[in-house]
Amino acid sequence: MLKNIDAVLYQDRLAREQERLKQEVSAREYAQLERSTTTRHEPFVDMRDALAQVRAKNHQPTQQEVEFRRFTSGGFIDNAKGN
């Protein structure tokens, strides 16, 4: 009778150990997934000073810049004719 109880306890201990190992593996895999898919948010750069400098210089774009902006924007940015 004592051998049967020992065998049952041993099987139970093995089952618990296997379950614990499975949970550890699952936790490691989930942690790796979280690290690889989480977006890292960094603070935004304050561009107000840069914008103020550009406005202070009153920059007038060249014709090439205007054409490049039209080409890359997919639309007309300055109400140019050619519709």
Residue 83 confidence (pLDDT): 45
Q: How far apart are CA 20 and CA 62, in angstroms?
A: 68
The model's pTM: 0.44
Q: Which long-range contacts (CB under 8 A, 24 or more apart) does 37-43 make?
A: none
Q: How far apart are CA 63 and CA 69, in angstroms?
A: 10
Residue 10 confidence (pLDDT): 92
30: Cα separation from own chain's centroid: 16
Residue 6 confidence (pLDDT): 87
Across the range 33-51, mean pLDDT stands at 87
22: Cα separation from own chain's centroid: 28
Residue 50 pLDDT greater than 80, yes or no = yes
Question: Per-residue pLDDT tens for 11-35?
Answer: 999 999 999 999 999 999 999 999 8
